[in-house]
Chain A
Amino acid sequence: MAGNAIVAENLTYMYGNLVAVDHIDFSIAEGEILGFLGPNGAGKTTTVKMLTGQLKPKEGKATLLGMDVARNVEKVQGDIGVCFETTNLYEKMSARENLNLFARLFGIKDFNPDSLLEKVGLAGRGKDRVETYSKGMKQRLMVARSLVNRPKVLFLDEPTAGLDPTSSDAILDIILEERDRGATVFLTTHDMLEADKISDHVAFMNQGKIVAIDTPLNLKQQYGKRALKAKISSKTGGLEDREIILDTPETPQTIQQLFSEENVITVHSEEATLEDIFIIITGRGLIE
């Protein structure tokens, strides 16, 4: 079994009297994707800043790849890649120049930016200045920059925010490729569907605390209900909705009756979404 890539123990941060991250504990195994979910102001960014050595915890400890982050900031930062939510590229430089700069900062010799640009779908645009890129292209370059040092742990903050579905899917594919390579991915996102689709585990953060952490499937089983939703043609000629709760002793019989006695137009299964579960747990939505 793989060891833990990230361990947070009693991790705490305060801005003055405001407790942004409140004694949180969690761990992520090597080679896993953790979807880190929570509304704005929940403490996600502060947590990432502590895990990446940008902030020193006021209490507790963050360990990355077996190293105490606060004590080994530069060493830890040599093994991580960070993709920020807001674009922060050198826009007057080309994509190749941006990547070459970061390769030099990581001390990488014989770095080939073109293969990375090809990986993120920017082949042929490497010599163009970043200021001429679209938002989607810039975001893909941000992801490419976070991969320059082939990081063992990858932190991605809303990497698909505001992107069209094609660009978004391209980035999700890259994340999965990185996971397959063996990298651990810490994915901060508002997009529940995205998190559900690619995360091995998801953590819900609310008001500085982690209120739930598990696999998406386990969370759905624990908090959600499984049901069948059917539309039937009523005797008056209209349409009616029927919901059949699964996992009850009467379920098989109820389904049989539905199909034998009613004129079923459509039927589909329904399970709780991560958004539903978040609301159940915290009493609030992700986007407020």
Chain B
Amino acid sequence: MNWGIIKALVYKDFFLFFRNRFIGIVTILGLVLYIVFYFVMPKTIDESLEIGLYAPVNIPAFEQVQAEGLVLTTVESEERLKEAVIDGDYVAGIALPSDALETLIAGQVPDIKLYIASDVPEEIKDSVVVIIKELAYQQAGQPLTVDIKEEVLGTDMAGMQIPPRDRLRPMLAIYLILFETFGLANLIAEELSKGTVRALLVTPMSSRDLFTGKGIFGVGFAFIQAVFFMAIVGGLNNQPVIILLALLLGSMMAAALGFLIGSLAKDFMSVLAWGMIIFILMAIPGFGVMFPGAVTGWITYVPSYYLVDTVHRVASFGAGWGDIWLNLVILLIFDAVVFWIGILGIRRRAL
């Protein structure tokens, strides 16, 4: 391999990358905006559940409830309660009937009204229903007659909630990395369609120099941005070596996809068309971290899941080598396979 030639090629690609104003501006703007997005997201978690209560009669269990994270506020009328829920003052409102106490003491079921705002998530609604039932049982003095066994599926994160900004971090990091797929793919597609690759290959540059140069540019550019971002947002505070390795493998994934798309595309528009399909697919695992429960088990078939999962677990929960080594191996295998396919595609068109 001729490192002087590779250096010249990397320099040329870097230069041409920013000559495409669209990609150049979006790259810099993206990096800045992602950092801004991170810092404008809340850095603390507000897990309190504010519920309004209208109780025409005094029911001690409801009025004296002391639960962590539960704020029960009494309002003067049922109408006022409805307005407050609609205005978003409370996630839910409980309206007790005037005969609630007698009904409970008699062991009967009182007719309790629950007002829920239209945009409240299902799990909040379920929580409020559970709270009401629990309070009703407390007041009635009748214990639950069923024995509930709890089983946690997956990693038990109970009590380990993280702020939204830290939840956003792996998603933004992978978006930064994935965006470089477009830039590299565009450079390769142009090189192939305009025939400049033929001009390069009649100089002392070998095809191995060509692929090495393109790979170094693609991986290096994505990696530098991702590391810069993670350093700014505190993503390297836990296990920095693992995070750096994961970001490197992620950057290799972006470069490999760039090779693949570049070998298929004819111009910038077809790079966008192919790239968006892959980008959207690869971006989904990021949502899984941001919105837990939004995606299901099939997400493990998306290769970027192993990058997001590694960054998320290591940066946010301090996971170690033993927890994520398999993720890194899967990423490495995926990178190698896609690089190989991309190189074959480029060779077929260029040589």
* Residues of chain A whose beta carbon lies under 8 Å from any beta carbon of chain B: 52-54, 73-75, 77-78, 80, 82, 84, 86, 88-93, 97, 101-102, 104-107, 145
Contacts and interface: CB of A to CB of B under 8 A. Distances in A.
Interface in B187-237: 194-196, 198-206
Contacts of A54: 198, 201-202, 351
A200 to B, nearest CB: 24
B4 A107 contact: yes
Nearest to B18: A92
Contacts of A145: 199
28 contacts: A52-B202, A53-B202, A54-B201, A74-B2, A77-B203, A78-B203, A78-B204, A82-B199, A84-B198, A84-B199, A86-B195, A88-B194, A88-B196, A88-B198, A90-B12, A91-B194, A93-B15, A93-B16, A93-B19, A97-B15, A102-B199, A102-B203, A104-B4, A104-B5, A105-B200, A105-B204, A106-B204, A107-B4
A82 B8 CA distance: 19
B73 interface: no
B20 interface: yes
Contacts of B5: 104-105, 107
Nearest to B19: A92
Contact of A107 (B16, B204, B206): B204
A145 B198 CA distance: 13
Contacts of B16: 90, 92-93
A54 B198 CA distance: 8
Contacts of B194: 88, 91
Contacts of B200: 105
A241 B195 CA distance: 51
Contacts of B20: 92
Contacts of A78: 203-204
Q: Report, as a range, how many residues of chain B touch the other chain.
A: 20 to 34
Interface string B18-47: 011000000000000000000000000000
Given A90-B16, A92-B20, A93-B15, A73 B206 contact: yes
Interface in B322-351: 351
Contacts of B201: 54
Contacts of B15: 93, 97
B204 A74 contact: yes
Contacts of A107: 4-5, 204
A77 B198 contact: no
Nearest to B350: A54
A74 B206 contact: yes
User: Which of B9, B19, B20 is most buried by chain A, counting CB atoms within 10 A of its CB?
Assistant: B19
Interface in B139-182: none
A97 B19 CA distance: 13
Nearest to A149: B203
Contacts of B205: 74, 105
A102 B9 CA distance: 10
A73 B204 CA distance: 8
The 9 closest A-B pairs by CB, nearest first: A88-B195, A104-B8, A92-B19, A105-B203, A82-B202, A74-B204, A78-B204, A88-B196, A88-B199
Contacts of B198: 54, 84, 88
Contacts of B203: 77-78, 102, 105-106
Given A90-B12, A101-B8, A107-B4, 19 more contacts: A53-B202, A54-B201, A74-B204, A77-B202, A77-B204, A78-B204, A88-B195, A88-B196, A90-B16, A91-B194, A92-B16, A97-B15, A104-B4, A104-B8, A105-B5, A105-B9, A105-B200, A106-B203, A107-B204
User: Which of B9, B204, B206 is most buried by chain A, counting CB atoms within 10 A of its CB?
Assistant: B204
A74 B200 CA distance: 12
B28 to A, nearest CB: 18
A217 to B, nearest CB: 32
B5 to A, nearest CB: 6
Contacts of B19: 92-93
Nearest to A74: B204
A88 B15 CA distance: 18
Contacts of A92: 16, 19-20
User: Which of A73, A89, A90, A145 is most buried by chain B, counting CB atoms within 10 A of its CB?
Assistant: A90
A101 B12 contact: yes
A86 B198 CA distance: 11
Nearest to A55: B351
Contact of B196 (A74, A82, A89): A89
Interface string B281-295: 000000000000000
Nearest to B12: A101
B16 to A, nearest CB: 6
A74 B204 CA distance: 4
A230 to B, nearest CB: 51
A82 B196 CA distance: 12
Interface in B268-314: none
Contacts of A104: 4-5, 8
A102 to B, nearest CB: 6
Contacts of A82: 199, 202
Contacts of A84: 195, 198-199
A218 to B, nearest CB: 32
B159 to A, nearest CB: 55
